[in-house]
């Protein structure tokens, strides 16, 4: 018996039917011309979604965290400085992964639930002009906060500091403009707003970032997550063998992106905005309090504290077992008193919202 | 239009129908009780296939190379010594990944196409008793050679050197006994003899290896491939969040292993042995020459040079385009003059062999 969940947590989301269907295509070898054609089209589709002309745009064979680590270890040498914006769980993870890579981490903080101030990040860069990277999470999945990354790129353009943006929850959900915002490195994941199952991490590097990677003096500490080797594997002709990529997951991403682009990226952003607002307009009436301030609120991921006196874990479990609806629990300071509700990709629909609200109303009695 | 290949290369192989079917199950969140149940059963099934009671037995969210790197970086500290048996491409890769992890590599070599001598490996360990690891590829996918790993574990048991075995192509194809052979760390991949699509890397660590990992003085350089964190994610209750694992791939591995174990592991070994011999008995009659000596020949992966005067690449391409059959080209010293033919998992059947032989006979005219 297979559970059939309405996935409204922080991810995975319910994939597009096209993305699920594509999983059953016959498996192809990773050097098959048909597979290489699909990979090439995935590159084009990812460029359209990242809004970039970057040649190095490919899916890393791992989840979003693998994309994060691939960017960090490919662009950081031991002893390099990285400035990290930290206002949630995934900012903390950036610090952790960079530390393990031997980097010096300069933290720029804001409280969990509040956005980072771009001026603080730029001030930290001026104080640390030797920094190789400045890294920010565009959409903090832990708090539902949108960090404003648009002002950073133009200010960093004349410096030695590359801009790295975590777009795991942002990509395909809210506006993100890799080229216009002068983002040098960006990674995402398939199972959030792109509407495919988990397993791949789309990554894009600017020519400046590729040059930096190719000019490094020390080898990249990871073989599996070496974006230079992955460039030679996915984008060179003939490809240099690196690993046995999964045609199964590639097909599915290809199909999910196809569906998204057929709707139109701006239309998809608008849909996420509209559906997220529909939920966020309704929650206060049920006694929930939204965590992110309005100016920095993500539509695709809403974090909200529960009405006083309710046991969030018990309620969340009932939502799952009695209604087959998954939402996420709070993290960090919000553990035990908040939910994280995702309305991402194929799940960003009116139906999801009325279903969730109806079930919550029943549960609250 | 979807290509429908008979996959007889070095991997991926044609998945079991059950493994393909499982891909379409509804996606579940990585903390869903139903998913955790599947993960627990995958652990049990992997233990049965690895022939181990090791608690730390889990699928890494990446391909076989991710499994290799996870074992190496989790068990090696910077400056540690590793002895590596090198007689093919994947022995070289072990050296490369260990080097990037800051280890000192002691190479023990045999020519490509010949097996390693266990006595040489043990002599290297006696000369380097400080070595943290001794690593050997059980089934060299690059040459079709079986390396004898059974004698190593008992000899290493009283030393500080742990035994690491690459079982990417071995597991589920030829006998491998993790506990009986006293293997401390072993990794594989789903897309070879286990009969599932690519994307996951089964890994198992002995209690001694877990102890070593938990006692290290330096952090594991990779966050994504940290087997300690993965142990806390997959095997602790409640799980500590690490990444968003793919229920899609997990289901498929679960189903592939279920099919394999229903047939019976020994029966599957016997089937691979019989089908491989059927091919290997026939190839010389067509002018092919088997690369591996008989005593070290893998049934699941046959490397053979082509009859004099034939262009292997042209012939291989015709096999793919005219017959829809994929075989692999030679690597290293065998590039341009050999094929690598996999008869793995669901593809290890009489039908595969007669199909391939029939097509090759036609092509050779």
Cis peptide bond N-terminal to A238, omega within 30: yes
Do the Cβ atoms of B99 and A5 come within 8 Å? no
Please name the member of B28, B221, B249 whose beta carbon is closest to the beta carbon of A199: B249
Tell me the per-residue pLDDT of A221-252, one tens digit each, with 9 for 90 and over. Answer: 999 999 999 999 999 988 899 999 999 999 99
Q: Does the structure's ipTM exceed the value 0.95?
A: yes
Contact assignment for A62 to B64 by CB distance below 8 Å: no
Report whether pLDDT(A326) > 90: yes
Beta carbons of A59 and A203 less than 8 angstroms apart: yes
Distance CA A249, CA A190 (A): 9
Distance CA B134, CA B152 (A): 9
Cβ–Cβ of B29/A15 closer than 8 Å? no
The sign of the torsion formed by the CA atoms of A331, A332, A336, A338 equals negative
| Closest residue by Cα to residue A195 from A9, A7, A15 | A15
Chain A environment of B21 (Cβ under 8 Å)? 24
Residues of B in contact with A197 (CB under 8 A): 27, 246-248
Residue A111's pLDDT band, with cuts at 50, 70 and 90, is very high
**Out of B97, B199, B222, whose CB is closest to A199?**
B199
CA distances from A92 to A81, A108, A136 (A): 16, 11, 11
pLDDT for the residue numbered A237: 86
Chain A from 128 to 187: CB within 8 A of any B CB: none
CB atoms closer than 10 angstroms to residue A213: 21
Q: Which of A24, A30, A62 sits opposite B61 (nearest CB)?
A: A62
Q: What digits encode the pLDDT tens for the residues A274-287?
A: 999 999 999 999 99
Rounded CA separation A162/B25 (Å): 41
Say if residue A12 is preceded by a cis peptide, omega within 30 of 0: yes
The C-alpha atoms of residue B190 and residue B197 are separated, in whole angstroms, by 6
Nearest-CA distance from A65 to chain B in Å? 6
Over residues A17-48, the pLDDT tens digits come to 999 999 999 999 988 999 999 999 999 999 99
pLDDT at B70: 98
State the nearest Cα–Cα gap between A118 and chain B, in angstroms: 27
Q: Which chain B residues are Cβ-neighbours of A7 within 8 angstroms?
A: 27-29
Cross-chain Cβ contact A244/B27 below 8 Å: no
Q: Which of residues 16-55 of B touch A (CB under 8 A)?
A: 20-21, 23-30, 32-34
| Interchain contact, A199 vs B246, CB within 8 Å | yes
Q: Would you call B78 an interface residue with chain A, using a CB distance cutoff of 8 Å?
A: no
- pLDDT beyond 90 at A1: no
Closest approach of B289 to chain A, Cα-based (Å): 25
What residues of chain B lie within 8 A of the CB of A96, using their CB? 223
Count Cβ–Cβ pairs < 8 Å, chain A vs chain B: 196
Burial A223-235 (b: 16+ CB within 10 A, else e): bbbbbbbbbebbe
Query: Which of B 277-316 lie inside 8 A of A, CB atoms?
Result: none
Nearest to A226 by CA among A31, A66, A52, A63: A66
Reduce the secondary structure of chain A to three states and give it as a string.
Answer: CCCCCEECCCCCCCCCHHHHHHCCCCCCCCCCHHHHHHHHHHHHHHHHHHCCCCCCEEEECCCHHHHHHHHHHHHCCCCCEEEEEECCHHHHHHHHHHHHCCCEEEEEECCCCCCCCHHHHHHHHHHCCCCCEEEEECEECCCCEECCCCCHHHHHCCCCCEEEEECCCCCCCCCCCCCCCCCCEEECCCCCCCCCCCCCEEEEECHHHHHHHHCCCCCCCCCCCCHHHHHHHHCCCCCCCCCCCCHHHHHHHHHHHHHHHHHCHHHHHHHHHHHHHHHHHHHHHHCCEECCCHHHECCCEEEEECCCCCCHHHHHHHHHHHHCEECEECCHHHCCCEEEEECCHHHCCHHHHHHHHHHHHHHHC
**Side-chain half-sphere CA neighbours of B267 within 13 A:** 7
CB contact, 8 Å: A332 with chain B?
Answer: no
Cα(B233)–Cα(B259) distance, integer angstroms: 26
The span from the CA of B322 to the CA of B362, in Å, is: 11
Contact call for residues A51 and A177 (beta carbons, < 8 A): yes
Q: What is the mean pLDDT of residues A94-102?
A: 97
The answer to whether B253 and B194 are in contact (CB under 8 A) is yes
In sequence order, what are the beta bridge partners of A82? Answer: A105, A133
Domains, chain A, with CATH or none: 6-11+264-364 (3.90.1150.10), 18-261 (3.40.640.10)
Dig out the tokens for A341 from the structure.
């509700």
Tell whether B188 is within 8 A of chain A (Cβ). Answer: no
Provide, as residue numbers in chain B, all residues whose Cβ is less than 8 Å from the Cβ of A76. none
Residues B30/B249, Cβ–Cβ less than 8 Å:
no
Question: Would strands A162-166 and A185-187 be described as parallel, antiparallel, or unpaired?
Answer: parallel
Given CB atoms, is A216 within the 8 Å cutoff of chain B? no
d(CA A153, CA A90): 20
Is some CB atom of chain A closer than 8 A to the CB atom of B213? no
Please indicate whether, in this complex, the C-beta atoms of B326 and A32 are within 8 angstroms of each other. yes
Collect all residues of chain A within an 8 Å Cβ-Cβ radius of residue B37. Answer: none
What spatial distance separates the first Cα and last Cα of chain B, rounded to whole Å?
30
How is residue A294 written in tokens?
């309005």
Angle at A267 between CA A263 and CA A270, to 5 degrees: 145
Q: Do A29 and B326 touch (CB under 8 A)?
A: yes
Is the CB of A23 less than 8 angstroms away from the CB of B27? no
Chain B residues whose beta carbon lies within 8 Å of the beta carbon of residue A239? none
Give the C-alpha separation, B8 to A350, whole Å.
47
Kindly state whether A322 is in contact with chain B, defined as any CB-CB distance less than 8 angstroms. no
Spatial separation of the C-alpha atoms in residues A284 and A294, rounded to whole Å: 13
Q: Scanning every residue of chain B, which has its alpha carbon at the shortest distance from the alpha carbon of A14?
A: B27
Rounded to whole angstroms, the Cα distance separating A190 from A264 reads: 17
Q: What is the pLDDT along chain B (365 residues), one digit of tens a residue?
A: 788 899 999 999 999 999 999 999 999 998 899 999 999 999 999 999 999 999 999 999 999 999 999 999 999 999 999 999 999 999 999 999 999 999 999 999 999 999 999 999 999 999 999 999 999 999 999 999 999 999 999 999 999 999 999 999 999 999 999 999 999 999 999 999 999 999 999 999 999 999 999 999 999 999 999 999 999 999 998 889 999 999 999 999 999 999 999 999 999 999 999 999 999 999 999 999 999 999 999 999 999 999 999 999 999 999 999 999 999 999 988 999 999 999 999 999 999 999 999 999 999 98
Choose among B14, B27, B244: nearest Cβ to A189.
Answer: B244
Query: A59 — contact with chain B (CB < 8 Å)?
Result: no
Give chain A positions within 8 Å (CB) of B246.
63, 191, 197-199, 249
pLDDT surpasses 90 at A2:
no
B26 and A3: CB-CB below 8 Å? yes
For helices B207-214 and B64-75, the axis angle rounded to 10 degrees is 60
Closest residue to B7, CB basis, from A29, A223, A320? A29
Tokens of B145: 């050679």
- A252: closest CA of chain B, how far (Å): 11
CB contact under 8 A, A5 and B242: no
What's the confidence (pLDDT) of residue B333?
Answer: 87
Residues of A in contact with B64 (CB under 8 A): 243-244
CA distance B219 to B203: 20
The Cα-based distances of A212 to A50, A133, A135, A162, A208 in angstroms read: 21, 11, 16, 9, 6
Q: Which among A2, A222, A252 has CB closest to B100?
A: A222
> Within an 8 Å CB–CB cutoff, is residue A62 touching chain B?
yes
The first and second tokens of residue B76, run together, are 């090696």
To the nearest whole Å, the CA of B165 is away from the closest chain A CA by 18
Facing A244 at nearest CB: one of B26, B29, B189: B189
* Closest by CA position to B94, among listed A224, A214, A217: A224
Question: Which residues of chain B make contact with A252, given a CB cutoff of 8 A?
Answer: 248
Task: Provide the pLDDT for residue A141.
Answer: 97
Q: What is the pLDDT of residues B202-224, one digit of tens each?
A: 999 999 999 999 999 999 999 99
3-state SS track over chain B: CCCCCEECCCCCCCCCHHHHHHCCCCCCCCCCHHHHHHHHHHHHHHHHHHCCCCCCEEEECCCHHHHHHHHHHHHCCCCCEEEEEECCHHHHHHHHHHHHCCCEEEEEECCCCCCCCHHHHHHHHHHCCCCCEEEEECEECCCCEECCCCCHHHHHCCCCCEEEEECCCCCCCCCCCCCCCCCCEEECCCCCCCCCCCCCEEEEECHHHHHHHHCCCCCCCCCCCCHHHHHHHHCCCCCCCCCCCCHHHHHHHHHHHHHHHHHCHHHHHHHHHHHHHHHHHHHHHHCCEECCCHHHECCCEEEEECCCCCCHHHHHHHHHHHHCEECEECCHHHCCCEEEEECCHHHCCHHHHHHHHHHHHHHHC
């Amino acid at each position: 018996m297979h559970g059939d969940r309405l996935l409204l947590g922080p991810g995975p989301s319910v994939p597009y039917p096209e993305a699920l269907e594509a999983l059953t295509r016959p498996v192809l070898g990773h050097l098959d011309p048909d597979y290489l054609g699909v990979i090439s089209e995935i590159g084009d589709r990812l460029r359209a979604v990242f809004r970039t002309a970057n040649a190095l745009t490919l899916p890393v064979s791992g989840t979003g965290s693998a994309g994060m680590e691939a960017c960090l270890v490919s662009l950081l040498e031991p002893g390099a400085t990285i400035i990290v914006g930290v206002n949630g769980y995934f900012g903390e993870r950036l610090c952790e992964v960079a530390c393990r890579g031997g980097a010096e981490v300069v933290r720029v903080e804001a409280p969990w639930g509040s956005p980072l101030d771009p001026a603080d990040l730029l001030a930290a860069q001026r104080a640390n002009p030797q920094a190789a990277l400045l890294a920010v999470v565009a959409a903090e999945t832990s708090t539902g906060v949108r960090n404003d990354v648009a002002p950073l790129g133009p200010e960093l353009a004349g410096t030695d500091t590359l801009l790295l943006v975590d777009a795991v929850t942002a990509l395909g959900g809210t506006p993100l403009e890799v080229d216009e915002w002068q983002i040098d490195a960006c990674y995402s994941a398939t199972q959030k707003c792109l509407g495919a199952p988990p397993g791949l991490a789309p990554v894009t590097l600017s020519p400046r970032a590729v040059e930096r990677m190719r000019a490094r003096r020390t080898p990249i500490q990871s073989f599996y997550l070496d974006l230079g080797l992955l460039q030679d594997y996915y984008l060179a002709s003939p490809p240099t063998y690196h690993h046995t990529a999964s045609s199964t997951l590639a097909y599915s991403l290809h199909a999910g992106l196809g569906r998204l682009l057929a709707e139109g990226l701006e239309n998809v952003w608008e849909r996420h905005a509209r559906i997220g607002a529909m939920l966020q307009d309704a929650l206060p009436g049920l006694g929930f309090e939204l965590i992110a301030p309005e100016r920095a609120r993500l539509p695709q991921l809403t974090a909200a504290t529960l009405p006083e006196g309710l046991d969030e874990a018990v309620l969340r479990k009932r939502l799952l077992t009695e209604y087959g609806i998954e939402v996420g629990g709070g993290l960090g300071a919000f553990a035990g008193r908040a939910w994280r509700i995702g309305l991402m990709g194929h799940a960003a629909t009116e139906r999801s919202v009325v279903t969730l609200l109806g079930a919550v109303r029943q549960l609250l009695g």
